[in-house]
Amino acid sequence: MMIHRLFLLLVCAGGSLSAQVNIVFNYDYDVAGLFTGANEGRQAALQAAGDYVAGLIAPSTFAAITPNDTDSWIGRVRDPRDVSQEVEVGNVTIPANTIQVYVGGSVLSESYLAYGGIGAGWAPFESTPEWAATLYFRGNEPYYRYAIGSISFSSTKAWYFDDDISSVEPMGGAYDFFSTAIHELFHVLGSNLHGAPNWSALVDSEGRFIGANAMAVYGGPVPLDAEHDHWANGTQNLILGTSIVQDPLMDPYGAANERIYATALDVAALRDLGYATVAVPEPAAYAGWLGLVVLLVVVRRRIRRR
């Protein structure tokens, strides 16, 4: 009988060149049809969110996961169909500089919009230390680099899907899908997630985040919520590259009719987790930012993100 050991993270064998990070989505577990079938067009809105988050990360080197006759693993993620369960996604190959996110819709608690996080993996007990190291770090030791993750979006909430993030239209009382998706993708990167080792190592005994970059932006230790998964409710910061104040992206709550973006604080935390980040977003991609704050909030019904 083959004995396995569980790795808390993922990844690869072999080297790779520094390149733009790609976030790709797998819809195999979208049995609710939130993004498939008649709703396949919504995939463009999710990819817009993935491209936005990937665009915050400078060209990087994340080794590819290329299983072979000697090295193998079985990836595991929180099941997008049922977040109380995990699902094995197999001995998957992940290209260099790529993060694969398994997504779907499910019936979540009424107080949640979505649930996202990092993946894990099983590898044979007899795996070499080199293979084990790449399954943790993807060539970025001591920083964990996650090759897979998952997000489950509420299939019962009213969503506003928008694949053109350069403008914002009235949302009619719906929750902005883009805002929630980029929030959950930060969790997939291991940010604001108490189960992620690099994040947890920077939370002090008083429940504050003490990464040097985040503290420089905030002006000191950054207060967290009780679970250490988000900034404390009421924290504010500037949208990255602007002088516009908003709740940070990793605030625990979202509101209907509201679009939010990554703040300088959110991106500083990524740097504390070892990610190289861009100074400001590409102007062509985010030309509509300055008009975003004029969106009227008709119903500010706050609901929790995970």
Note if the pTM is more than 0.85. Answer: yes
Q: Which residues of 123-143 are buried (b: 16+ CB within 10 A; e: fewer)?
A: bbeebeeebbbbbbbbbbeeb
Torsion angle of alpha carbons 244, 249, 254, 258, nearest 10°?
40
User: Among 16-20, 82-86, 123-127, 130-134, which is the least confidently predicted range?
Assistant: 16-20
Q: In the prediction, which pLDDT does 120 show? A: 86
How far is the C-alpha of 10 from the C-alpha of 174, rounded, in Å? 36
| Residue 14 pLDDT greater than 60, yes or no | no
Q: What's the domain count of the chain?
A: 1
Q: In the prediction, which pLDDT does 304 show? A: 62
**What domain range includes position 25?**
4-304
- Smallest CA-to-CA distance from 101 within 160, 185, 216, 204 is with 185
What distances in angstroms separate CA 167 from CA 25, 40, 77, 150, one per listed residue? 24, 22, 33, 27
Secondary structure element (H or E) that encloses residue 121, with its range:
strand 120-124
How far is the C-alpha of 235 from the C-alpha of 113, rounded, in Å? 20
Q: Which residues pair with 175 in a beta bridge?
A: 159, 256
Three-state SS at 235: coil
Three-state SS at 256: strand
Confidence band of 287 (pLDDT split at 50, 70, 90)? very low
| Residue 270 pLDDT greater than 70, yes or no | yes
Q: What number is the average pLDDT over the span 277-282?
A: 75
Of 230 and 124, the structure prediction assigns the larger pLDDT to 230
Q: In the prediction, which pLDDT does 292 show? A: 37
How far is the C-alpha of 1 from the C-alpha of 16, rounded, in Å? 35
Tokens of 255: 């509101």
Contact 105, 180 (CB under 8 A): no
Three-state SS at 101: strand
Confidence band of 1 (pLDDT split at 50, 70, 90)? very low
| Residue 26 pLDDT greater than 70, yes or no | yes
Q: Which residues pair with 209 in a beta bridge?
A: 203, 222
Q: In the prediction, which pLDDT does 4 show? A: 31
